[in-house]
Amino acid sequence: MTVTKAPLWLSARLNLALVGFLGCVVIYSLRTNLSVAIVCMVNQTAIAESAAQEATLFNQTKKVTEEQCLAPNGSVAEKKVNEDGEFIWSKTKQGQLLSAFFWGYPFSQILGGLLAGRFGGKMVLGSTVFGAAVITLLSPIAARTHVYALIVLRALLGFCQGVTFPCLHTMWSHWSPPLERSLLTGMTYAGAQIGNVLTLPVSGLLCKYGFDGGWPSVFYVLGVVALAWVVLWQVLIANSPSSHKRISAREREYIENSLAHEMKKEGTTHVPVPWRSVLTSLPVWAAVVGHFAGDWGAYMMMTSLPTFMNDVLKLDLTSLGFISSIPYIAYFFCINLGGFLADTVRKHNLLNTLNTRRVAMIIALGSQALFLVISGYCSCGEICHNYFTSATIWYPLL
């Protein structure tokens, strides 16, 4: 069957990619905001004083201390004056807060895929982003109530956001022609990195200049933005081309014909999930292990980079927010370039699909491993901390 291509420009599928892009911006802003906010939420001076005796023995072995950082020209820079927050949370408590998101995140992903397949990705994703927005708006109240209240909310936020990619995968299974799939999905998921690029510096500025003590404004502003995106998603997006009210007949026909060999006809019964085959599939486990390895570096950078910039490099709130966003700028360009290159390689039959993915995995994980190892040797005042911020630039190739 001959498939007549419909232009991508001003199309409904491009509209989905752009709104999905904005959704990823919002979703990642809600998960990243605490990484910067916690720097100005915590009373660093009180914690430093309480830990002084414990740190004495360790500092005796170090030539460069927290009071003495080498500036780029080799001179000794003055110690950064920390902006003291209102909470005296130990490093252990801070670690629990930063990791709480991931306690909830894995447990909704399979459920999210099942619900999206049955009820459509539009409703499931819209509902969970709404829930995430409400949780974000409640976060300042929870923090001022008790640290464990905020930990619980962060875990619930992770649970809500676990459905994001299963829902978007479900949406694109109905919307993306095979030869455009990498481009459209890459465009959508690039919003995750733009979300980090915007959130990190904006959170730093809100911490320093925002209302209600600075740090609460981070959660209030981003929560309201998330609610606005939910309205946009509900108004502009449909689960499939057949249910879209404003799509052209030409584009609907193009998408449906392109996916005719993949999609079930509407009205057919749902096929049971072959769980045994899934759980015993080597390709499935290869994807799981690869994704785990890639996320190890990506999320380490997302949660720990602002604290690293503050505690080790002694940057102020504004600087650490902007500098922490630099690797995500490279991430954004790489994720789009990776999708384009993958489509080009497949289109010209330079490599088959499997080998294209193998090469991408080798480049991504190998580069990430190298930079993460180098980052372990960085200390105050050394420019090699840039290796840490570069550690996950290659991750989009996964």
So what's the pLDDT on residue 24? 93
User: Do residues 390 and 373 make contact, with C-beta atoms less than 8 angstroms apart?
Assistant: no
Q: Is residue 330 part of a domain?
A: yes
Q: Is 59 contained in some domain?
A: no
- Decide if 263 is inside a domain: no
pLDDT of residue 273: 77
- Written as one letter, the residue type at 224 is V
Q: What is the CATH number of the domain that holds 313?
A: 1.20.1250.20
Domain annotation covers residue 253: no
DSSP state letters, 185-223: HHHHHHHHHHHHHHHHHHHHHHHHH-STTSHHHHHHHHH
Q: pLDDT digit string (tens) for 125-180?
A: 999 999 999 999 999 999 999 999 999 999 999 999 999 999 999 988 888 888 78
Q: How confident is the model at residue 71 (pLDDT cuts 50, 70, 90)?
A: very low
How far from each other are the two terminal CA atoms of the chain, in whole angstroms?
33
Among 156-165, 224-233, 317-326, the range scoring the smallest mean pLDDT is 317-326
Q: Higher model confidence: residue 124 or residue 362?
A: 124
What global pTM score does this model have? 0.74
Average pLDDT over residues 295-324: 71
Highest mean pLDDT among 12-21, 81-90, 220-229, 253-262: 220-229
**Helices 326-347 + 317-324 axis angle, to 10:** 10
pLDDT digits (tens, 9 = 90+) for 251-296: 888 888 887 776 655 445 567 778 889 889 998 898 888 888 888 8
71 by Cβ neighbours in 10 Å (0-12 / 13-18 / 19+) ranks as exposed
CA distance 81 to 169: 46
Q: Which domain holds residue 46?
A: 15-51+66-246+283-397
In a domain, 195, yes or no: yes
- Which contiguous run of DSSP H or E holds residue 63? none
Confidence of residue 322 (pLDDT cuts 50, 70, 90): confident
pLDDT of residue 155: 95
| Cα–Cα distance, 133 to 160 (Å, whole number) | 10
Query: What is the model's pLDDT at position 379?
Result: 64
Per-residue pLDDT at 23: 94
Mean pLDDT along residues 216-232: 95
Whole-number pLDDT of residue 380? 57
The CA-atom distances, in angstroms, between 30 and each of 4, 39, 99, 330, 341 are 41, 16, 14, 21, 30
Helix ranges (H only) for 105-242 are 109-119, 121-145, 147-161, 164-175, 181-209, 215-236
Looking at the DSSP bridge assignments, the partners of residue 167 are none
Residue 196 lies in a domain: yes
Q: Is 33 helix (H, G, I), strand (E, B) or coil?
A: helix
In a domain, 56, yes or no: no
Give the DSSP per-residue string, 356-393: HHHHHHHHHHHHHHHHHHHHTT--TT-TTHHHHHTTTT
User: How many domains does one find in the chain?
Assistant: 1
Contact in structure between 6 and 251 (CB atoms under 8 Å): yes
> Higher confidence at residue 95 or residue 261?
95
352 band by pLDDT with thresholds 50, 70 and 90: confident
Residue 259, domain member (yes or no): no
Q: Which long-range contacts (C-beta less than 8 Å, at least 24 apart) are formed by 369-373?
A: 369/297, 371/297, 372/297, 372/300
